[in-house]
Structure 1
Amino acid sequence: MDERIRVQVIAVDPAVRVGVDDMVRVCPELTVVADRPDVVLMVTDEVSDAVLVLLRSLSRAGRRVLLVTDTLREPDVVEAVQAGAGGLLRRGEVRLDRLRPAIRATADGSFTVPSDLLEAGDREPERPPARQLTKRERTVLLMLADGHETEEIARSLAYSVRTVTGIVHTITHRWQVRNRAHAVACALREGLI
């Protein structure tokens, strides 16, 4: 992205908000704003009902939200993504080297989630063919879940950008989901990634 990404920080605790604001300001490609953000960075203790209501409201307003929370379990991921979160991080993981790419991924419409929530083991559970994934589709979804952009995935896998876009489109169409974040959430919920 050539232009700076506009980030609005929302946190109940004013000290946390100021600290996160300062962290964002250190990044030359990011800027903190009070309105019309590219990404809303929401910092909270847990994925509560109130947080889900706010996520839905922001999502309906067309905002992309990166949710940073103290506790994050697999059910939280599914609920938050269904409510409109475009990415998730644990507060303990918030360092510049993790926050910067997560904000970029959220702004680009990609998705990021803590890697320990991606591990589903080597089992291959029985499921209808519509929810099966090819090795190629699984690899792309894993990279999307880790916050990689389409161009990065293409470069890493030696595919064209068009091929990666096609793979994602095939999954979202076959699964009848809204977007790539929703596809990642479904894959997580069903143990596919």
Structure 2
Amino acid sequence: MGLIKVTVHAADPFTLTGLKVMLRHLPQVVVVNATEAGAVDVVVVAVERLSGAGQQLLRAAAAAGRAPVVLIANEIEDGQLLLALQCQVVSIVSRATADENRLRHAILTAARGESDLCSPAGPENHSAELSMREVDVVRLMAEGLDTYQIGEELGYSERTIKNIIYAFTTRVQLRNRPHAVSYALRTGVIW
């Protein structure tokens, strides 16, 4: 793999400058201006939260081209994962863990056309089947409903919904609710 052209978008000028400086030190990475976005391989977007201005910045960065997006954010709610996927996000990095190694890995993965939103499934994951109840819960999570709203929709208590989510994510070895939605999308359980 040759040099990877990366453009950076951030919600504030300090983050933008810091990211550009950090990325310029990475081997194989060349930082280009957003105005030169014609031949960009990867887009890096850094926001505090994926709401309001953060959503607008992500949408604008994704609309500028077809390059995969690495999203750096402090906070992403369950319902916002679908927006991220629609905006070509292939990797989400927490601002707390966004060091040079993590960013380099995310950028290289994106440049190869791969995604690290879902960890590779182990042998037991391939045979894992979801019950209709689990599919309903994950589908409603993807629509942005919280556990109380899902319980109201399906006629279960909030505690039952939490138990369903816990059992599913533990059995399939998923990290969190956005990971569960991503897994369900990737495996075709929901679309």
- Do Structure 1 and Structure 2 share a fold, with TM-score over 0.5? yes
Deviation at 1:20, TM superposition (A): 0.8
Distance 1:54 1:74, change over 3 A: same
Distance 1:18 1:79, change over 3 A: same
Unaligned segments of structure 1, at least 5 residues: 129-137, 147-181
Report the residue type matching 2:130 in the other structure: P
Contact kept, 8 Å, 1:64 with 1:106, in 2: the verdict is yes
Report the residue type matching 2:91 in the other structure: G
- Residue of structure 1 in register with 2:130 after alignment: 125
Note the alpha carbon deviations across 1:39-70, whole angstroms, 9 max, x for none. 11100011124444444444443122111111
Quick one: distance in 1 between partners of 2:104 and 2:60? 24
Count, aligned residues: 137
Quick one: distance in 2 between partners of 1:68 and 1:189? 26
Q: 1:112 aligns with which of 116, 121, 144?
A: 116
Distance 1:114 1:183, change over 3 A: closer
Report the residue type matching 1:99 in the other structure: L
Contact kept, 8 Å, 2:118 with 2:182, in 1: the verdict is no
Contact kept, 8 Å, 2:3 with 2:28, in 1: the verdict is yes
Are positions 1:73 and 2:77 aligned together? Answer: yes
Contact kept, 8 Å, 1:43 with 1:67, in 2: the verdict is yes
Distance 1:185 1:28, change over 3 A: farther
Contact kept, 8 Å, 1:52 with 1:83, in 2: the verdict is no
Distance 1:108 1:31, change over 3 A: same
Contact kept, 8 Å, 2:7 with 2:43, in 1: the verdict is yes
Q: Which has the larger radius of gyration?
A: 2
Quick one: distance in 1 between partners of 2:86 and 2:184? 8
* CA RMSD across the alignment: 3.8
Note the alpha carbon deviations across 1:141-171, whole angstroms, 9 max, x for none. 99xxx9xxxxxxxxxxxxxxxxxxxxxxxxx
Quick one: distance in 2 between partners of 1:49 and 1:15? 19
Secondary structure at 2:76 match in 1: coil
Distance 1:25 1:68, change over 3 A: same
Quick one: distance in 2 between partners of 1:74 and 1:188? 18
Distance 1:38 1:184, change over 3 A: farther
Contact kept, 8 Å, 2:69 with 2:87, in 1: the verdict is no
Contact kept, 8 Å, 2:109 with 2:115, in 1: the verdict is yes
Unaligned segments of structure 2, at least 5 residues: 120-124, 134-171
Query: What's the TM-score once normalised by structure 1's chain length?
Result: 0.57
Alignment of 1:1-193 (within 5 A): 1=1, 3-34=2-33, 35-36=36-37, 37-60=40-63, 61-113=65-117, 125-127=130-132, 184=183, 186-187=185-186
Secondary structure at 1:66 match in 2: strand
Distance 1:45 1:185, change over 3 A: farther
Query: What's the TM-score once normalised by structure 2's chain length?
Result: 0.58
Secondary structure at 1:7 match in 2: strand
Distance 1:21 1:188, change over 3 A: farther
Secondary structure at 2:115 match in 1: coil
